[in-house]
Amino acid sequence: MELYMSIAIGVLFTVGVYLVLSKSLLRIILGTSLLTHGIHLLLLTMSRLKTGAAPLLGQKADSYVDPLPQALILTSIVISFGVTSFFFVLAYKAYQKLGTDDIEQLRGKEDE
Amino acid sequence: MSLLHLVIILPFIFAFGSPFLYKVTNRIHTGWFMLPAPIFIFGYFLSRVPKVQNGESVTTAVPWIPSIGVHFTVYLDGLSLLFALLISGIGSLVIIYSIFYLNKRKEALGQFYIYLLLFMGAMLGVVLSENLITLYGFWELTSISSFLLIAFWNQREKSLYGALKSMLITVFGGLAMLSGFLLLYMMTGTFSIREIIANAAMITEHSLFIPAMLLILLGAFTKSAQFPFHIWLPDAMEAPTPVSAYLHSATMVKAGLYLVARMSPIFAGEASWFWIVSATGIVTLIYGSYRALKQTDLKAMLAFSTISQLGLIMSLLGLGSAAAIFTGTSESLFYVKATMAGIFHLINHAVFKGALFMIVGIVDHETGTRDIRKLGGLMSVMPITFSVALIGTFSMAGLPPFNGFLSKEMFFTAVINIMNLDMWNMQFLSVLFPVIAWVASVFTFIYSMLLLFRTFAGKKQFDKLEKKPHEAPLGLLLPPVVLGALAVVFGIFPNILSYTLIEPTMAAIHPTMLLSGQQFDTSIQIWHGWTAEIFMTIGVIAVGTVLYRQHQRVKVLHLPLFSEITLNKTYDGGLRLLDKGAKGLTDRYMTGSIRHYMIYIFLFLIISIAITMGISNSVRLDFTQYAPMSLYEAVIIFALIVSVIAVPFARTRMMAIILTGTAGYMVTLFFVIFRAPDLALTQMIVETVSVTLFLLCFYHLPKLKKELESLRFKLSNFIIALGVGVVMTLLALSASSSRSFESISDFFIKESYNLAGGKNIVNVILVDFRGFDTMLEIVVLSIASYGIYALIKVNLTDDVDRVGTGYWESENKLTFNGIRSNDVILKTIAKAVIVIILAFSLYLFFSGHNAPGGGFIGALMAAAAFVLLAMAFGSKRVREVISIDFRKLSAVGILIALLTGTGSFLFDLPFLSHAFGYVELPLLGHMEWATAMLFDLGVYLTVVGITMTIILAIGRDK
């Protein structure tokens, strides 16, 4: 399972980076979303998969999966939601104001 | 902590008080409040003289960074006492002088005295520190306070130029010095100066010995304005005159001399030390005196004169180091005379040059100019000023009966003595020393006379002056008169100084030269008989007088020698080149293209991770321990990969957004499979809300919706992307197959219930174990939401007209009547479903401590309910129905979280300590109450507030 997950993570990162490097603001934002997914799965995979029950002590299981990456990911999900929203609105407003979402055209000039 | 420490700290305390005193008392000059500090310090050090004279020294230490041997150690011996007396004594006089010099209404006195006292404390720190690192710290502080003082009149272009120049040069030297100190540390393993001196014999053969010496000398030469680093000192004269008198003549520029003297026990006896120090000194001496001749500005003349005199003392310290070779023989006492002359001249120079600076300040103050071409004949209107100027200039020219005469004679003795030295190929070169010394003395004589007679004698030309000249007020005259009187007293009774100050200082510079109980013979005689020295002096006066008469006619004496290539032009050009080079280099990679920046980041990521994995060789494929995979899971992975790969190929933006959403939901499924219920819940809601947002932003932009993506494939981007992907796959494999240290997760599993009373470990980590992280996280989120709100609110009208045209406006009216649907079924169902979702949200929140759920998830669920409401009835309607200011709601949430955290202070516990207990309630039964719950409530409210702020802000935009 870990092997296939690792490959999936690789695909998420490849596509995410490729999108981030493109010109369109929308694609960049989508790229960051995919990168976030990649990171989340990476964190989970790092601590081995399915090693026990869900980290709820009420289940009275012998072993539980690692709760730490889950706490990290939970924080990350919410934060990335906030950041992505901000990014969106920024892109949307930039488009409204400048009429383009091409990042190369949004480049700053000297002493700007 | 000792009294000696307090003495260093005292000026800093006064400096701190200065601005307050300046604000409170505008009738009394701030200087009067500052004056007690240096006077007290001077008195204290004066009372230490008898003890130091008996050879006692004081050392006390306060640990600073003990682990690497850095202590705030202060040490008082003859050398530091001499400097401390100069700093505090001249400091007192300068403050008195400044009170009358600086107008209390026009000048920013609060700042002035901060800088001045800061300097005084730093300078005392330099001379009293026994630890090299503390010495360095104070050393740089003198550079900084000097910078601030030179730039005191910061509206003047030249002040800023001079300040920057002095800063660049002295700080450059300071850094060199620091690396020299570090080399000494590497050789001896200590920062203590005395311990290094004790080990000096062992390190002379070390390969780092010479580099350390050169670097330290670089620090000393830049600070003491030695050729060719002297160029900052003339420009530093833009500072107010009290500052020039204090920093740039009497004290700070002597820090380099102090350093050379302090380091002498380590380096003296080395041929290179002898050569570099004395040659630099003697070159500076003649260069400075020659340049001084050509100046027409009185202060510039004094600046070059100071450079030349510093060179004189420097060369004497170098010549004196020859004595170290003959330790234990009578010859050593022969060469040690040079050191004695150096110390004596150091005192004399501080006295007469201090007085002269103050005199020039008075002339400037009372006539409005310092240009000798405009001045003349002031003798009759300013008799007291003239008298002090006469004493000062005659002393500087080396005329009897003033103190400068004595030290100049001793200087001649020292350079004649050095001809006897038959080591290090001195036979030929040693003749140069007396010759250069004599010529420089002639120059010194000439500019001294120019300074005196051009200003005070000659024909009166008061009509050229801005003000009508008259004698200065008593307060301005007092400090130079005191110094002038000292010049006379030291000239007639030099032996006041010889055993009180000079002898202990020499003992500090040449610690190994004497057996215990012995003393250096430092008695100074005024008349030696008809010796070579006296003939040299007579020659100086005779030739000097002739040349003085010819001064205007001989071009070489008053015109610039090289007008094309000067050191200043080299400095300016170098600075410009550096500026341009740095800009050019930066421009090469700071292109302004985000794509380039991302490429740097990703390349760095690939390389660093690949190297780390290569070195640690941690990629092992061990399939046996891997979790098994079912067909169901294989299908999800396949779906994820396919949807992700399809994103870049999506022809429309809509498609891309939906495909990304699909990937998000697949990830949610993985969370379910991997036993992460909290994550699955959160991700699902976030994904839903995000896709709504995506669509809100981009679907309703008409042009974007229709426009097709250009799908040009870029190979370079793909290669980088593939690199990152491969590296990440390997990283995931290596991390999951091996573990180099114990995870801390077991702690959380074990203690979650015992310490925090919660069974949902993830939630307990968030609100309890790592509550502080969560707290800051909601703050970050709030900032993001306020940012979005502000972005939407930004008024773009002026630009919209230009870019948007009418098309935009009409379209916007149609689109943003909000998020609205006319679907009756949706509306009907929504009414019922919203209640259910909200109830579920509350359930998630309350059960979160023990079962999946919690503040984040509950809040997102509630937000999802509101989004549904907005979809069904329009966001305007939502705002009408729910009249809550969501921005305030998130602020209240943060406040609750913060108060919960600070509440633990009441019980004397650290921030965010939580408590819990159980209560039996009717109907609800056994219930747990934890303060963590209260904290989670804060999180809940904040997240609801944030999400709704974002959604409504976007929905509101028209």
User: CB within 8 A of B497, min separation 6: which ones?
Assistant: B344, B347, B490, B524
pLDDT of B703: 54
Closest chain B residue by Cα to residue A76: B777
Query: Is the separation of the CB atoms in B85 and B46 below 8 Å?
Result: yes
Closest-CA distance of chain A to residue B627, Å: 5
- As given in the structure block, the two tokens for residue B791 are 């972005």
Query: Which residues in chain B are closer than 8 Å to A41, comparing Cβ atoms?
Result: 667, 670
Closest partner residue to A67 (CB to CB) among B701, B761, B781 is B761
State whether residue B921 is helix, strand or coil. Answer: strand
Residue B736 near chain A (CB below 8 Å): yes
Closest chain B residue by Cα to residue A61: B749
Closest partner residue to A74 (CB to CB) among B752, B784, B856 is B856
Closest-CA distance of chain B to residue A6, Å: 5
pLDDT band of A1, cuts 50, 70, 90: confident
pLDDT of B802: 40
Are residues A44 and B794, on separate chains, in Cβ contact within 8 Å? Answer: no
pLDDT of B199: 85
Residue B806 near chain A (CB below 8 Å): no
Closest chain A residue by Cα to residue B674: A50
Closest chain B residue by Cα to residue A108: B592
Q: Give the C-alpha separation, B889 to B942, whole Å.
A: 6
Q: How many domains does chain A have?
A: 1
Are residues B656 and A37, on separate chains, in Cβ contact within 8 Å? Answer: no
Closest chain A residue by Cα to residue B688: A81
The torsion angles phi and psi of B215, rounded to 5 degrees, stand at: -65, -40
Q: Give the C-alpha separation, B70 to B134, whole Å.
A: 8
Name which of B600, B644, B754 to mutate to probe chain A: the one with the most chain A Cβ atoms within 10 A of its Cβ: B644
Query: CA distances (Å), A94 to each of A86, A97, B579, B760, B804, in order?
Result: 12, 5, 34, 43, 12
Q: Give the C-alpha separation, B383 to B389, whole Å.
A: 10
Query: Is the separation of the CB atoms in B33 and B112 below 8 Å?
Result: no
Tally of CA atoms within 13 A in the half-sphere of B749 that contains its CB: 20
Residue A111 lies in a domain: no
pLDDT of B364: 86
Are residues B697 and A92, on separate chains, in Cβ contact within 8 Å? Answer: yes
Assign 3-class secondary structure to A33-83.
HHHHHHHHHHHHHHCCCCCCECCEHHHCCCCECCHHHHHHHHHHHHHHHHH
Q: What is the ipTM of this complex?
A: 0.93
pTM of the complete model: 0.70
pLDDT of B807: 37
pLDDT of B826: 81
Closest partner residue to B736 (CB to CB) among A46, A74, A90 is A46
Give the pLDDT confidence of A89-99 residue by residue, as tens digits. 888 787 777 77
Domain that holds residue A81: 2-98
Are residues A92 and B698, on separate chains, in Cβ contact within 8 Å? Answer: yes
Residue A61 near chain B (CB below 8 Å): no
- As given in the structure block, the two tokens for residue A46 are 């790092």
pLDDT of B254: 92
Query: Is the separation of the CB atoms in B679 and A75 below 8 Å?
Result: no
Residue B253 near chain A (CB below 8 Å): no
Query: Which residues in chain A are closer than 8 Å to B711, comparing Cβ atoms?
Result: none
pLDDT of B804: 39
Residue B657 near chain A (CB below 8 Å): yes
Query: CA distances (Å), B802 to each of A96, A97, B799, in order?
Result: 11, 9, 5
Name which of A4, A9, A12, A13 to mutate to probe chain B: the one with the most chain B Cβ atoms within 10 A of its Cβ: A13
Query: Is the separation of the CB atoms in B23 and B95 below 8 Å?
Result: no
Residue A34 near chain B (CB below 8 Å): yes
| Cβ pairs bridging A and B (under 8 Å) | 296
Query: Which residues in chain A are closer than 8 Å to B850, comparing Cβ atoms?
Result: 56-58
Residue A60 near chain B (CB below 8 Å): no
Closest-CA distance of chain B to residue A19, Å: 7
Are residues A99 and B803, on separate chains, in Cβ contact within 8 Å? Answer: yes
Residue A69 lies in a domain: yes
Closest partner residue to A21 (CB to CB) among B625, B634, B717 is B717
Q: Give the C-alpha separation, A30 to A25, whole Å.
A: 9
The torsion angles phi and psi of B752, rounded to 5 degrees, stand at: -55, -45
Residue A79 lies in a domain: yes
Residue A19 lies in a domain: yes
Residue A107 lies in a domain: no
Name which of A24, A84, A85, A105 to mutate to probe chain B: the one with the most chain B Cβ atoms within 10 A of its Cβ: A85
Decide: residue B458, CB within 10 A, 0-12 exposed, 13-18 middle, 19+ buried.
middle
Query: CA distances (Å), B842 to each of B332, B863, B922, B930, B941, in order?
Result: 93, 12, 20, 17, 12
Put simply, the chain B residues between 20 and 39 with a CB less than 8 A from any chain A CB are none
State whether residue B108 is helix, strand or coil. Answer: coil
Domain ranges of chain B: 268-556, 560-587, 760-958
- As given in the structure block, the two tokens for residue B901 are 């955290």
Closest-CA distance of chain B to residue A102, Å: 11
Closest-CA distance of chain A to residue B829, Å: 28
Closest-CA distance of chain A to residue B244, Å: 38
pLDDT of B806: 37
Closest partner residue to B796 (CB to CB) among A26, A85, A96 is A96
Which of the residues in chain B have pLDDT under 50? 705-706, 708, 798-819, 958
Are residues A82 and B784, on separate chains, in Cβ contact within 8 Å? Answer: yes
Residue A78 near chain B (CB below 8 Å): yes
Query: Which residues in chain A are closer than 8 Å to B621, comparing Cβ atoms?
Result: 3
